[in-house]
Structure 1
Amino acid sequence: MKLAAVIQPEELILQGKNDFTLFDVSAGSKVRYDEQHLDGAFYLDLNTDLADIKDFAVGGRHPLPSFEQFARLLGKYGVTKDTHVIIYDDKNGANAAARFWWMLKSIGHEKVQVLNGGYTAAIKAGFAVTADVPEAKSTTPYPITAWQLPLAAIDEVELAGNSNQYVIIDVRDANRFAGLTEPIDLIAGHIPHAINIPFTENLDAEGAFLASEVLREKYAKALAGYQTENVIVHCGSGVTACHTLLAIDYAGLEIPKLYVGSWSEWSRNNKKMILA
């Protein structure tokens, strides 16, 4: 039976402690992790564990690590093909938790879920917290041969922007999409012909995912008329885009292409863009 992409905090509490491996991937929150985290959670860093950062113009701010790097990382924490991995962050699963989920799904790992509502929701539900760091039981590197989920490179995105057969979804907030503000990258604006569906719209007022049937109706309508292989999702650096890919999977729809480089790569390569 296929696991849902999202697990509820109450379900997590009912899980046997030895039945899953828990990861805290709250970006930039190592200090908080050292002070307090969900009991049993290992910490992963977005920049050093889940990306191989080099030149932002090649792959953007958070390019994927090599297969060898990712395989060693998983082996370090004892993750095998049979491990039930549960992931959380402190951004309602909207940041590195979704990115780690996508990476695991993309190497064919099926037993992976993101904690609905993240760190705050788990504490509210009564999950135990601690400052103790668990001891990892390492194993051999995870066998990885390819990214099995679809990816789009910058050249395909450029072609997609000139074809009515494609749809490019930008999940950044409306002001960044419109070019009214740009807090991270050098240039404000968006890729030509992209549409804006902010990832925050996947969540309710409490920061939890909308019901799967609500998400299904939302994305089935947005993607109507397009083949899945012609749907490209991006953000600023290929991280929060994964939140929308997770939402689409949770909705029971096929996962479309991820443009990892996203705006951080596009805006540094003299590509055509809609500016402020």
Structure 2
Amino acid sequence: MLPLIEAEELKQLDKSTYTLIDTRGFGNSREHYEQGHLEGALYVDLEDLAAHPEDAANGGRHPLPELKDFAALLGRLGITPQTHVIVYDDKAAANPAARFWWMMKAIGHPLIQVLNGGLQAAVIAGIYPVTGFHSPLQPAVYPIPANYANTVTITEVDRAVKNRGQIVIDVREKPRYLGQTEPIDLIAGHIPGAINVPYLTNLGAGNRYLNANELKEQYQEIFGDVKPEQVIVHCGSGVTACHTLLALEQAGLTGAKLYVGSWSEWSRRDLPVATDEK
């Protein structure tokens, strides 16, 4: 199953055959959801998709939740390992939608897709928002997964940036990568040796992902002889990086890994910081 689904495809699906997830909240704010959401969508906040550490130096600002907690969330949503899940946001999947997709893939859930173009694309296709709240038809029990696959530690990243056979990609906007601005974390700059491929390069017209062939061509040029399995992707806190991991999956370049702690962890560990162009 491809990670992206188009709004026109969504219109053709029987609503009883999938669970729709709206991830537009942040900080347990349901404001956008309450103002209008796609019919039948269940609400998930970014805070549901992360643990809440006291010290971001160990795991970053949005470390992954405990596996038992994520399984419990899925159960409350009525999701089982057999459920086809479709998720959307209003940020071209650059925030919680791609993170939710990646977490589901990382625990081995095969039936998970992101709505290409998000809420805006749905409206253009004639799927209009509704108000009111929706609840799962029936809570479920989701088995606790064994692990989150395809993650790396800060130590592995440190080794990778010094290895010509690996690539570390920073998907943040170039001014943040170059240390010209840093609106969130304590120190500006980037991991020495990491290259900058902003996540926005994954997008084309209408804030939709480029097609699979365009994405494949773009990233194969960057990778050269390096296999996708030797690629590590990060951002500020392990959320937006999932946008690029989704793009790679759509392009058929599977196996890249997520550095969850990302810049928010690295920049708090008294490690080297770069501000030059790689």
TM-score range relative to shorter protein: over 0.9
Separation (CA, whole Å) in 1 of partners of 2:147 and 2:31: 34
The residue number in structure 1 matching 2:105 is 105
The TM-score with structure 2 as length reference comes to 0.95
Separation (CA, whole Å) in 2 of partners of 1:113 and 1:228: 21
Whether the 8 Å CA contact 1:79–1:142 is kept in 2: the answer is: no
Amino acid aligned to 1:258? L
How big is the shift at 1:229? 3.1
Amino acid aligned to 1:114? V
Residue 226 (structure 1) aligned with residue 222 (structure 2): no
Whether the 8 Å CA contact 1:24–1:37 is kept in 2: the answer is: yes
Residue 192 (structure 1) aligned with residue 168 (structure 2): no
How big is the shift at 1:126? 0.9
How big is the shift at 1:87? 0.3
More divergent stretch after superposition (20-29 vs 107-116): 20-29
Whether the 8 Å CA contact 1:22–1:85 is kept in 2: the answer is: yes
The residue number in structure 2 matching 1:179 is 179
SS of residue paired to 1:87: strand
Whether the 8 Å CA contact 1:74–1:142 is kept in 2: the answer is: no
Whether the 8 Å CA contact 1:216–1:248 is kept in 2: the answer is: yes
The residue number in structure 2 matching 1:126 is 126
Separation (CA, whole Å) in 1 of partners of 2:42 and 2:23: 8
Separation (CA, whole Å) in 1 of partners of 2:197 and 2:25: 23
SS of residue paired to 1:26: strand
SS of residue paired to 1:44: strand
How big is the shift at 1:166? 1.6
The residue number in structure 2 matching 1:20 is 18
Separation (CA, whole Å) in 2 of partners of 1:74 and 1:191: 34
Aligned residues: 272
The TM-score with structure 1 as length reference comes to 0.96
State the superposition RMSD in angstroms. 1.2
Question: In the TM superposition, what are the counterparts of 1:9-158 in structure 2 within 5 Å?
Answer: 9-28=7-26, 30-47=30-47, 49-54=48-53, 55-136=55-136, 137-148=138-149, 150-158=150-158
How big is the shift at 1:162? 1.9
Amino acid aligned to 1:248? L
More divergent stretch after superposition (225-234 vs 62-71): 225-234
SS of residue paired to 2:73: helix
Separation (CA, whole Å) in 2 of partners of 1:203 and 1:17: 28
How big is the shift at 1:248? 0.2
Whether the 8 Å CA contact 2:172–2:196 is kept in 1: the answer is: yes
Residue 237 (structure 1) aligned with residue 241 (structure 2): no
Whether the 8 Å CA contact 2:202–2:215 is kept in 1: the answer is: yes
How big is the shift at 1:128? 3.2
SS of residue paired to 1:99: helix
How big is the shift at 1:226? 1.3
How big is the shift at 1:132? 1.7
The 1:142/1:126 distance shift into structure 2, 3 A limit, reads farther
Structure 2 unaligned segments of length 5 or more: list them. Answer: none
Separation (CA, whole Å) in 2 of partners of 1:157 and 1:204: 30
Whether the 8 Å CA contact 2:81–2:142 is kept in 1: the answer is: no
More divergent stretch after superposition (124-133 vs 259-268): 124-133
Separation (CA, whole Å) in 1 of partners of 2:108 and 2:193: 32
Separation (CA, whole Å) in 2 of partners of 1:200 and 1:228: 20
Separation (CA, whole Å) in 1 of partners of 2:208 and 2:25: 19
Whether the 8 Å CA contact 1:27–1:95 is kept in 2: the answer is: no
Whether the 8 Å CA contact 1:232–1:257 is kept in 2: the answer is: yes
Residue 161 (structure 1) aligned with residue 161 (structure 2): yes
Amino acid aligned to 1:51? A
Separation (CA, whole Å) in 2 of partners of 1:255 and 1:27: 29
Separation (CA, whole Å) in 1 of partners of 2:10 and 2:266: 39
Structure 1 unaligned segments of length 5 or more: list them. Answer: none
Separation (CA, whole Å) in 2 of partners of 1:253 and 1:105: 14
Moved over 3 A (4+): none
Separation (CA, whole Å) in 2 of partners of 1:155 and 1:27: 32
